[in-house]
Amino acid sequence: MIYSDRLRTFLHTLEGPAAEGEFPFDRLRLQAQENGVPVIRLEMEQFLQVLLELKRPEHILEVGTAIGYSAMRMASFTSSDVKITTIENYEPRIEEAQRNFASCPWNERISLIRGDAAEVLGTLERSAYDFIFMDAAKAQYIHFLPDVLRVLKTGGLLISDNVLQDGVILESHYAVERRDRTIYRRMRDYLRVLCRTEGLTTSVIPIGDGAAVTIKEQDTVEIPAEGSLSQGE
Ligand code: SAH
Ligand code: MG
């Protein structure tokens, strides 16, 4: 997005150096980026911190652990009674995440569930979480949504990351490469559901790669059947 790289560079200049003895988030973030692991960006990190301090959740669910960066970051932003459950299905990253968790001060507050979120989400308890960070395969968000809303408490917050794909989702259908069209269509459907469904309140924000913040306002939220949404793009 237009400002996002400049904003990030600017924000990094505002950050002071890490204090002595602090957990080395900067080093971990740089390492991850060098290895092509898409960890949250600094502006998203700051946004999550603000949301977490406003919401003060008890139990956070994350879909997409990668190497555990954002899970540890969220742990560092919340008080010692806050639990974080995080789901990941890619073995090499699971191992790295577990090593990172074991060496961080928040280890006992973070539980990693290994497996495909499409299956794992179905096994989680209804209304068990009051803050959900959706940060996995973008084309699957729409499929995860019914279970995500089932496990989210009424009044809870759902944060979906990377929903604008650096602006690609805002382009006309014709401007989108054929290979990107599935993700494009599904992400548009996803945003449409978040914005239109009764009982959900959503704001789409051009921060990082695009984020959607959704509040679940009602106990039961009826999501329109898939396919009934697509507009003729
Ligand atoms: N939240 C992390 C980054 C996550 S990157 C951070 O900011 O630090 C997205 C992760 O989602 C990848 O590691 C990928 O393997 C995982 N993922 C994608 N689809 C998934 C699925 N269906 N089930 C579980 N994990 C999935
Ligand atoms: Mg992300």
Residue 112 structure tokens: 């990693």
Q: What is the pLDDT of residue 215?
A: 98
Domains held by the chain: number: 1
The position carrying tokens 């006992």 is 108
Judge if the beta carbon of residue 40 lies within 6 A of ligand 1: yes
Task: Report if residue 15 sits inside a domain.
Answer: no
Task: Report if residue 12 sits inside a domain.
Answer: no
Q: What is the pLDDT of residue 179?
A: 75
Q: Which residue has the higher pLDDT, 116 or 208?
A: 116
| Beta bridge partner(s), residue 212 | 160, 204
The residue length of the chain stands at 233
Residue pair 88/94 in contact (Cβ under 8 Å)? The answer is: yes
Residue 118 structure tokens: 């499409």
Residue pair 164/204 in contact (Cβ under 8 Å)? The answer is: yes
In whole angstroms, give the CA distance from residue 192 to residue 224. 10
Task: Report if residue 138 sits inside a domain.
Answer: yes
Task: Report if residue 1 sits inside a domain.
Answer: no
Question: Across the chain, what does the average pLDDT equal?
Answer: 92
Percentage of residues of the chain with pLDDT beyond 70: 96
Report the nearest-CA residue for atom 15 of ligand 1.
Answer: 90
Task: Report if residue 85 sits inside a domain.
Answer: yes
Residue pair 74/47 in contact (Cβ under 8 Å)? The answer is: no
Q: 105: helix, coil or strand? A: coil
In whole angstroms, give the CA distance from residue 115 to residue 140. 14
| Per-state percent for the chain, helix, strand, coil, to nearest 5 | 45, 20, 35
Task: Report if residue 70 sits inside a domain.
Answer: yes
Directed axis angle between helix 69-77 and helix 42-55, to 10°?
40
In whole angstroms, give the CA distance from residue 127 to residue 85. 14
CATH number at residue 91: 3.40.50.150
Which ligand lies nearest the alpha carbon of 211? 2
Q: 213: helix, coil or strand? A: strand
Task: Report if residue 228 sits inside a domain.
Answer: no
Choice from 44, 135, 207 to test ligand 1 binding pocket (greatest atom count within 8 A of CB): 135
Query: pLDDT tens digits, residue range 160-209?
Result: 999 998 788 888 888 888 778 888 999 999 999 999 999 999 999 999 88
pLDDT at 232 over 50: no
Q: What is the pLDDT of residue 166?
A: 79
* Window from 107-116, 182-191, 222-231 with minimum mean pLDDT: 222-231
Judge if the beta carbon of residue 66 lies within 6 A of ligand 1: yes
Q: Which residue has the higher pLDDT, 6 or 57?
A: 57
Task: Report if residue 80 sits inside a domain.
Answer: yes
Q: What is the pLDDT of residue 229?
A: 65
Burial class of residue 41 in the structure, from the number of CB atoms within 10 Å of its CB (0-12 exposed, 13-18 middle, 19+ buried): buried
Domain housing 44: 25-109+116-200+210-218
